[in-house]
Amino acid sequence: MRELLTRFLGEGAVPEDVAHMVGALDDATVHLGVGPDGQQIHARIEHADFEQWERHLRKDKDGKVYIWNEKMRIRADKQRSGVGASRLRAQVENAFYGGIAYIACHAARVNAQNPDPQRSFIGFFLWPKYGFDQTLDELEKGTANADDVRKGTPAAFPEVAGMIREQFSDELESIQDLFEEEGGPEWWQTNGVELYHAVFDLTAGSRSLEVFNDYWLDPKKGGIPLCLKNPM
Amino acid sequence: MPEEPDVNPQEEEILDRNIRKRIEAKKQLREREAGQENVIAKRILEALQSRPEGMNWAEIREMFDKNLSDKQIRQALLTLKTTAALTRNQVEKNGEHPGERWFLLAAS
C-alpha cells in the first residue's frame, strides 16, 4: 500500500490523502486496500447516507494518475438531495489540488441486470452534462478498458460515431463537441450508447472544469465557483 | 460497474440551461468566424487583383497578423475557390502545396 501511495501521490503521501481526493465526507469511514492486480488502490467509503461508494486510484498507460469512479449509490431517502453533485464537487476540487490528472467512470445506458428499457441507465447522457467526455475515436474503436466493464454490450460503436460525423460534422471530436451542436444532446439521448471511459479532465482550464463550474455558478446552486486552489 | 448520477429536476434544469447556453455561444462564435472569414477573403481578392502572376501561400500569409490562424486563412481561400457569390472572378490554386500559387482568373 505504501509503495502504491508513493508511486501515485509522491513521497510523504498518507492514506488520508486518498480519502480526501475521492471526496469522502468528513464523518465517513474509508477502507483502503490494494486491488486484485496489485496496481491500484481501492477506496471503499462507508457513510450512513450511502449504500455503496467505491473509488479506485490508478495510473494509466501514459503514467497519468487518475481516479476511477466505480460505484456510488445513495440511500433512497437521501436521493435527489444534491449530495451526489456535492460529492463530485469535493472530489474534483481535492483531486485537482492533489495533482490527479482526471476522474473517469463508465457512463452507461444498458442495464445488464435489468434489460427492460424502462430501467435503463441515464449516465450516458447525464455525465456529459457535468463535464465528462469521451472521444469519437474511442467510441469508434473502443476504449482500452471496454472488455473490463462491458456486460454483453459491444466493445466499440463505429456506426454511432459514423452517424454523428455524418449528421453533424466531420470536425466533431468528442461527445462534448456533440453537446455543443444544435440538436446534439437530444440526438445523443435517443441514439447514444455506452461510454466505457468517460473522462472528467482535471487539467487547469479544461472544458470539463468549465462545464462543471458553470453548473455551480447558477444562483440556484449558490453561485460559488469551484475552488481550484488549496481547498484546505 | 457503471456509476449513475443522482440528479433532481431542479439540477437537471440547470444542466439543460447551461447546455443551451453553450450551444448558443458556439453558434455565435461560428457567426463571428464566418464574418471574419469574409473580411479575410476580401483582402485576398484585392491583393490578387493587383498581382496577375498570383501569390503563393507565404505571400498570402504575410498579409495577415500572426494572431490569425493558418486554418482561418485557408478556410477563406477555400471559400473563394468554391463560392462564386463573392466575385465574378474565381481564385484558382495552381500546383500543390508548398509550391501552390493562387491567382484570379479573368471574369467569364
How far apart (Å, rounded) are the C-alpha atoms in residues A104 and A56? 10
Positive/negative CA dihedral, A67, A73, A75, A77: positive
User: Would you give per-residue pLDDT tens digits along chain A (232 residues)?
Assistant: 889 999 999 999 999 999 999 999 999 999 999 999 999 999 999 999 999 999 999 999 999 999 999 999 899 898 988 889 999 999 999 999 999 999 999 999 988 888 777 788 899 999 999 999 999 999 999 999 999 889 889 999 999 999 999 999 999 999 999 999 999 999 999 999 999 999 999 999 999 999 999 999 999 999 999 998 754 4
Q: How far is B30 from chain A (nearest CA, A)?
A: 11
Residue A21 grid cell = 481526493
Q: Is A192 on the interface with B (CB under 8 A)?
A: no
Q: Is A149 on the interface with B (CB under 8 A)?
A: yes
pLDDT at B108 over 50: no
Residue among A118, A102, A121 nearest A192 (CA): A121
**Assembly ipTM:** 0.89
| Residue A105 falls in which region: left (phi positive, over 0), alpha (psi -120 to 50) or beta | beta
For residue B30, what are the contacts with CB-CB under 8 A and spacing of at least 6?
Answer: none
How far apart (Å, rounded) are the C-alpha atoms in residues A185 and A192? 9
pTM, rounded to two decimals = 0.85
A-B CB pairs within 8 A amount to 84
Sheet containing A102-107, strands listed edge to edge, beginning at the edge strand earlier in sequence: A29-34, A41-46, A50-59, A65-74, A102-107, A195-201
CB atoms within 10 A of CB A97: 17
How far apart (Å, rounded) are the C-alpha atoms in residues B44 and B47? 5
How far apart (Å, rounded) are the C-alpha atoms in residues B36 and B108? 28
In chain A, residues with a C-beta closer than 8 Å to the C-beta of B6 are 72, 74, 79-80, 83-85
Q: Angle at CA A12, nearest 5°, toward A8 and A17?
A: 60
Rg (C-alpha) for chain A, rounded Å, is 18
The answer to which of A87-91, B34-38, B97-101 has the lowest mean pLDDT is: B97-101
Interchain CB distance below 8 Å, B6 and A182? no
How far apart (Å, rounded) are the C-alpha atoms in residues B36 and B40? 6
Interchain CB distance below 8 Å, A182 and B27? yes
DSSP β-bridge partners for residue A58 = A66
Q: How far is B105 from chain A (nearest CA, A)?
A: 31
Q: Is B52 on the interface with A (CB under 8 A)?
A: no
DSSP β-bridge partners for residue A200 = A103
Q: Is B108 on the interface with A (CB under 8 A)?
A: no
Rg (C-alpha) for chain B, rounded Å, is 21
Q: Angle at CA A19, nearest 5°, toward A13 and A22?
A: 110
